[in-house]
Amino acid sequence: MKIEVVYGNIVKQPDADALVNSANANLRLGSGVAGAIHTAAGPELEEFCKTIVPLAFGKAIITPGFKLPNPWVIHVRAASYINHDEPEQVLKDALESMLLVAKANGIRSLAMPAIGTGVFKFPPTLAAAITAEVLRRHSEQGGTLQWVRICVANPEMKSVYANALGTSAETHGI
């Protein structure tokens, strides 16, 4: 499986089968990634999500992409690093659930944000290490995913994720 870390807008990844939304429990339009995905997908996404909420901590669920160029959105729910007793485990569970949903739906490519590092206040180095660990384990187990693109908000975050994945290059395979 190829993994890329890019400095870029997650809703501008038309070649991905699915985008990953770092979601709240009610899968509603929010700030950051959730706001960008919901805005680009249109109001149909939020209406659809009303039928499948709430999303539990550490879980993932898939919806259509509606007006996005991507057929699917996988919504994951991490925990607040500050307000949750076991935020690292919840992030790990959310990422593993995301990968299981991708596999169950035959998704071959996905673009994801630096989950947990926004409003959930995860330290970027810790979130990147957990993400790298889960992606490596998944890659070793095989599956449908051919590539994952981690879309980050700034060059510093790109460096953090590239370091966690063991490379300074933008693209590499695991």
Model confidence pTM above 0.85: yes
Mean pLDDT of 5-14: 95
Beta bridge partners of 152: 7
Query: 44 Cβ partners below 8 Å, 6+ apart?
Result: 66, 67
Query: How big is the CA angle at 31 (ends 49 and 71), to the nearest 5 degrees?
Result: 45
Higher per-residue pLDDT: 11 or 143: 11
Q: 56-113 pLDDT, tens per residue?
A: 999 999 999 999 999 999 999 998 899 989 999 999 999 999 999 999 999 999 999 9
- Quote the pLDDT of residue 106: 96
Task: Look at residue 173 and tell me whether its pLDDT is greater than 50.
Answer: no
CB 57 within 8 A of CB 79: yes
What is the distance between the alpha carbons of residues 171 and 174, in angstroms, rounded to a whole number? 10
Write the CATH number for 54: 3.40.220.10
Count: domains in the chain: 1
Query: Structural domain of residue 87, as residue ranges?
Result: 2-173
Whether omega before 54 lies within 30 degrees of 0, making that bond cis, reads: yes
Mean confidence (pLDDT) of the chain: 92
Q: 147-156 pLDDT, tens per residue?
A: 999 999 999 9
CB 112 within 8 A of CB 5: no
CB 108 within 8 A of CB 72: no
Q: For the chain, give me the number of helices (H) and strands (E)?
A: 5, 7
What is the distance between the alpha carbons of residues 79 and 60, in angstroms, rounded to a whole number? 13
- Quote the pLDDT of residue 174: 37
